[in-house]
Chain A
Amino acid sequence: MPATPRTSRNRIILIVILIVCVTLVTLYVRESDKGPLHKVQNFFLDVISPVSSGFSKLFRPIKDGFVNLFHLPSLASSKRELEKEVGALKRQATQNAELEKEVEELERLLNWTEGHPEYETVGADIIGQSPDNWQRLMIVNKGSSQGVKKYMSVVTEEGLVGRIISVGSRSAVVQLITDSRSGIGGRDVTTRATGIIEGRNEATVRFTPMNSDTQLKVRDSLETSGMGGTCPPGIPIGLVSKVTKRSKGLTRLIEVEPLVDFSRLDKVLIIIMPQPESIILKEAQ
């Protein structure tokens, strides 16, 4: 098919364009960096650069929006990862706080041990509490395999917690001083007046002095007397919070607020030595 004039012209123009291109390329490649074509290029580059920079600043907000738009999926996944990380860090922070609290408690227990070198103790964690409303008991994670025996006293830095009433090989049950079946020999630190500290299944315990004439005031301190042979003497119990005179008879109702906050107990010390006299007596029999 013969070529039309237009087609021929097209071919000629294309060939001219290609020749010009090849010539330009050849000249450009062969000349040095200071050649005329390079100079022209550098000149236009200098002219265009500020324009390009200006447009770049102008379009920066749009560009940022564009970038964010196309990075939404990755942003979403980053958000999920960060949320996971935050969750992990929160858990770690909680664990750290718990550890810190534990260290504090251990330090306090250690202080108590150092302050009472006459006692040999074993530390224990509270692992359970009484399952009903009628007893004030706690379960600790130390038992006979750690030398724990019945009637041994359980203390914290604040004071007396209670005594062991049941022992397993790796756990033991502590009867708190607030338990209604608990009765421990106590005395007023100032007057040395003795009596019995009894639990009432309430937050406070009751002190019944042996001598009905004993004068006790609110804020008086009470400690174990050592009588009865279960608790060593001198362990703080609590402060007198209320003294009520009964209408009939001579006895008075003396309420004592224990020094130990039982609701926040985590760690305790069990006094291993000296052993309660009741145990020694039992063993002797």
Chain B
Amino acid sequence: MSRRRQLFLATVVVLAFILQIAVLPQFKLLGAQPDLILVVAVLVAVTDGPMEGALVGFFGGLLQDIVGPQVLGVGAFSKALAAFAAGVLKDFFMTYSILLPILLVFLMSLFEQSIHQAALAVLGQEQLPTFKVTVVFASALYDVLAVFLFYPLIRRFRFDDKEESTLAIRTTGR
């Protein structure tokens, strides 16, 4: 991954984070709002690979945990794991259709929310949020809608620097 791509993804994560904390709470539907950080992490996992997705999920989740306020690390953990799983699962599908990120975002949204709740339950949080299936599914559907906003963006700006690639080939002599 090129430096420009890294910067671009960092910008997308920050943008998603700002939207997530400042704007989306205003637009809850059925008590749910999309998790843009998760969406971006899963999409990066689909386009760039599981490790990249996991890193985006980790840092984005950590940002969310910090301003939560919630147990620091739980969001980072669940998002990193979900994004990594999405990156691994992607290799099982031989398709570049938009249906793939949609399906993975939907499944990973359910997965991530389940892990998050399970982790909080294991930690014995006194004020465990009520786990509502309708909210979980509404959130997953909301995440699917966010795919249409972020997937073209993440897929388009790949910044595959030909000069960097050529330089690398010359240096290695291959």
A contact set with B: CB distance below 8 Å = 9-10, 13-14, 17-18, 20-25, 27-29, 37, 40-42, 44-45, 48, 51-52, 54-56, 59-60, 62-63, 66, 70
Contact = CB atoms under 8 A, between A and B. Distances in A.
Interface string B16-52: 0010011101110100000000000000000001110
B75 to A, nearest CB: 9
Given A14-B54, A21-B73, A52 B84 contact: no
A18 B72 contact: no
B53 to A, nearest CB: 10
B80 interface: yes
Given A25-B71, A70-B29, A59 B80 contact: no
A54 to B, nearest CB: 8
Interface stretch (B61-69, B100-108, B146-154, B163-171): B61-69
A41 B119 CA distance: 19
Contact of A45 (B18, B22, B67, B74): B67
B43 to A, nearest CB: 17
B123 interface: yes
A192 to B, nearest CB: 89
Given A18-B81, A44-B67, A59-B27, 14 more contacts: A10-B49, A10-B84, A14-B50, A14-B80, A20-B73, A21-B58, A25-B123, A37-B72, A44-B66, A55-B26, A60-B26, A63-B27, A66-B26, A70-B29
Contacts of B142: none
A55 B66 contact: no
A54 B23 CA distance: 10
Nearest to A11: B51
A141 to B, nearest CB: 60
B69 A45 contact: yes
Number of chain B interface residues as a range: 20 to 34
Contact of A41 (B50, B72, B74, B123): B72
B73 A66 contact: no
B64 to A, nearest CB: 11
8 contacts: A21-B76, A25-B72, A25-B74, A25-B119, A29-B71, A48-B21, A62-B26, A66-B26
Contact of A66 (B27, B54, B69, B80): B27
A37 B18 CA distance: 22
Nearest to A56: B26
B66 A10 contact: no
A69 to B, nearest CB: 10
B88 to A, nearest CB: 9
B55 interface: yes
Contacts of B71: 25, 28-29
A40 B29 CA distance: 31
Q: Which of B22, B55, B69, B74 has the most CB of A within 10 A?
A: B22
B47 to A, nearest CB: 15
Nearest to A57: B26
Nearest to B84: A14
Pairs A-B, 7 closest by C-beta atoms: A24-B73, A55-B22, A21-B77, A25-B73, A63-B26, A10-B51, A28-B72
Instruction: Pick from A21, A23, A66 the residue with the most CB of B within 10 Å.
Output: A21
Nearest to A40: B66
A13 B54 contact: yes
A63 B29 CA distance: 11
B172 to A, nearest CB: 15
A41 B18 CA distance: 16
Contacts of A55: 22-23, 26
